Amino acid sequence: MKKSITISNVQSWKQKRKFAVITAYDASFAHLFALNGIEVILVGDSLGMTIQGHNSTIPVTLKEMIYHTRCVRRGAPSCFLLADLPFMTYTTWSQACDSAAKLMRVGANMIKLEGGSRLTGIIKKLTIQSIPVCGHIGLTPQSVNILGGYKIQGRDKDSAEILLNDAIALEKAGIQLLVLECVPIELAKNITQSLKIPVIGIGSGSYTDGQILVMQDILGITDKHAPSFAKNFLLQQGGSIAMAIQLYIKEVETGLFPSIQYSFH
């Protein structure tokens, strides 16, 4: 049986190599991704858009996240598995602990939540209860109604400084990974170099320690509104999903993806 990937493995990669992460929502795709070299999978609340057809992640429930996390774990028993806490399921530390425990009981190795320094109290409580946490700043899809849409974050000096301070505060509070979404490449580089923990980028340039993409974007089955930072790896491999995943991993590890074409300044 293949040895399971742990948080210690993932954290050690910051000093050794870049790594690729992908979303998955069911056992069959999770199994295929694992067979072709994926070591870290996110069960994202992006399923609200990719699986359920909503225009945001907000309708996704904890019950649905539990179901999909259980499915993905069955398909990829050795992968390091992240699972999103959906909208309004971590407003207090007790609610966050309860929500996170339910996801971990069905196979998640770590939970992910969205937000900056305002969450430090909740993160500290989670880590005290032996719940590993991944932070998520920059473009946070659960805040789309406050942000006014899916927009690049941290483009001016003040907002960039806020994001950097948020990242540092979250690390001090106890997060062990950080997802950085849709920020300029220069800011992503600064945040990545300022933290001791691995930073996983999405639409944030090539200087982060890892990259994550939604599986539908990698496989070119997103509709005409696919994000500009996403690359269709299936198109380059003549329709082979296995080869598309292998190419994605190779380009992330060698720094070819994301290129300038898939980054913001």
Which residues are known to be catalytic? 181
Which pair of tokens denotes residue 215?
């599986």
Helix (H) or strand (E) holding 164: helix 157-173
* Cβ atoms within 10 Å, residue 240: 14
CB 201 within 8 A of CB 136: no
* Cβ atoms within 10 Å, residue 53: 8
String of DSSP letters for 4-30: PP-HHHHHHGGGT--EEEEE--SHHHH
Q: Judging by beta carbons within 10 Å of its beta carbon (0-12, 13-18, 19+), is residue 205 exposed, middle or buried?
A: buried
In angstroms, the CA 116 to CA 37 distance is 32
CB 91 within 8 A of CB 119: no
Q: Which residues of 156-179 are buried (b: 16+ CB within 10 A; e: fewer)?
A: eeeebeebbebbebbbebbbbbbb
In angstroms, the CA 182 to CA 138 distance is 6
In angstroms, the CA 74 to CA 105 distance is 13
